[in-house]
């Protein structure tokens, strides 16, 4: 079983990179299931539109996760009610439209649970993320209820992401972090067999400041009065993510490999 997970898709550059490269990656790597984080896909670099979701599904994504910017495009609160393949964080303060996890079928007829969690530190409007994770683990068991489990922990600080990985170690196929838009080099298989990476980085233009136009962002840091509201960089986008080969019998990881394609970043092993 080959699973591909992709970091935050940022603005038009990220969307275009997904449309250009994802179908080719799926074909060449023989990917069975794709999860990407789409909360920054909107034209302004925040939120996700119905059009964005359709573009991602057409490119080969199976599930879209999100995070703290999930409601920045107001239309999302409406269409997410019917689009079960678009997840909002499970631990958002209730009631919130949409769902935080689901069970999906892969193209090779495997049952895959995907849960979207959001960290508590520096985030707003969340219930305790570790309580939500434990409740999920009580309900959904690897190899009892599903063949594989994928966890997106959308969080600001590395310690929350790492702690979540240890909570899920041996109980999930893969735990990956999103939100900070910078790929970490700690991809590995943990002691009990769960694949992990602290942050997948972003899919977008890396000639930027975490996706935003670098000149304008620098002006804002310097408190230059000519600075305007943040807006996305529009150069060539890079796809940044992780491919996991998982064992059909155990549901745990056998191999992990970063996937870096297009734009400025270099693929690393």
Nearest to 197 by CA among 206, 207, 184: 184
pLDDT tens digits for range 32-88: 999 999 999 999 999 999 999 999 999 999 999 999 999 999 999 999 999 999 999
Distance (Å, rounded) from C-alpha 179 to C-alpha 152?
A: 10
Tokens of residue 72, six digits: 């920045």
Q: What is the pLDDT of residue 266?
A: 76
Tokens of residue 216, six digits: 């304008």
Q: Which has more pLDDT, 29 or 265?
A: 29
Distance (Å, rounded) from C-alpha 16 to C-alpha 216?
A: 22
Q: What is the pLDDT of residue 268?
A: 59
Please give the DSSP secondary-structure letter assigned to residue 92. Answer: B
Residue 176's DSSP bridge partners are 152, 197
What is the pLDDT averaged over residues 228-249? Answer: 96
Helix axes 11-29, 50-59, angle to 10 degrees: 20
Q: What is the pLDDT of residue 209?
A: 97
Distance (Å, rounded) from C-alpha 102 to C-alpha 175?
A: 16
Band (pLDDT 50/70/90 cuts) for residue 236 is very high
CB 204 within 8 A of CB 17: yes
pLDDT tens digits for range 6-23: 999 999 999 999 999 999
Q: What is the pLDDT of residue 125?
A: 83
- pLDDT higher than 90, residue 243: yes
Tokens of residue 5, six digits: 């997970």
- pLDDT higher than 90, residue 267: no
CATH class of 2-261: alpha beta
Q: Among residues 69, 154, 179, 187, which one is catalytic? A: 69
Distance (Å, rounded) from C-alpha 241 to C-alpha 260?
A: 7
230 noted as active-site residue = no
pLDDT tens digits for range 90-133: 999 988 999 999 999 999 999 999 999 999 999 988 999 999 99
212 burial via Cβ count (<10 Å: 0-12, 13-18, 19+): buried
Tokens of residue 93, six digits: 């303060």
pLDDT tens digits for range 131-178: 999 999 999 999 999 999 999 999 999 999 999 999 999 999 999 999
Q: What is the pLDDT of residue 94?
A: 87
Which uninterrupted H or E stretch holds 158?
A: helix 158-168
Q: What is the pLDDT of residue 47?
A: 97
Tokens of residue 42, six digits: 């909107």
């Amino acid at each position: 079983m080959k699973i591909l997970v992709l970091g935050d898709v940022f603005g038009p550059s990220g969307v275009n990179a997904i449309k250009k490269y994802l179908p080719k990656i799926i074909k060449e790597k023989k990917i069975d299931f794709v999860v990407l984080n789409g909360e920054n896909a909107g034209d302004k670099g925040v939120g996700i539109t119905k059009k964005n979701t359709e573009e991602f599904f057409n490119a080969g994504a199976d599930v879209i996760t999100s995070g703290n910017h999930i409601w920045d495009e107001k239309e999302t609160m409406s269409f997410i009610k019917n689009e079960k393949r678009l997840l909002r964080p499970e631990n958002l303060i209730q009631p919130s439209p949409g769902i935080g996890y689901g069970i999906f079928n892969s193209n090779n007829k495997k049952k895959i649970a995907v849960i979207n969690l959001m960290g508590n530190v520096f985030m707003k409007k969340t219930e305790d993320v570790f309580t939500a994770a434990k409740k999920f683990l009580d309900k959904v068991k690897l190899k009892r209820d599903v063949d594989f489990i994928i966890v997106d922990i959308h969080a600001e600080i590395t310690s929350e992401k790492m702690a979540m990985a240890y909570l899920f170690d041996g109980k999930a196929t893969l735990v990956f972090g999103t939100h900070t838009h910078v790929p970490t080099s700690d991809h590995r298989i943990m002691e009990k067999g769960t694949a992990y990476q602290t942050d997948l980085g972003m899919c977008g233009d890396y000639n930027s400041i975490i996706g935003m136009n670098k000149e304008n962002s620098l002006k804002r840091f310097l408190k230059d009065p000519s600075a305007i509201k943040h807006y996305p960089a529009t150069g060539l986008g890079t796809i940044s993510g992780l491919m996991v080969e998982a064992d059909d019998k155990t549901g745990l990881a056998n191999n992990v490999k970063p996937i870096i394609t297009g734009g400025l970043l270099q693929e690393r092993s």
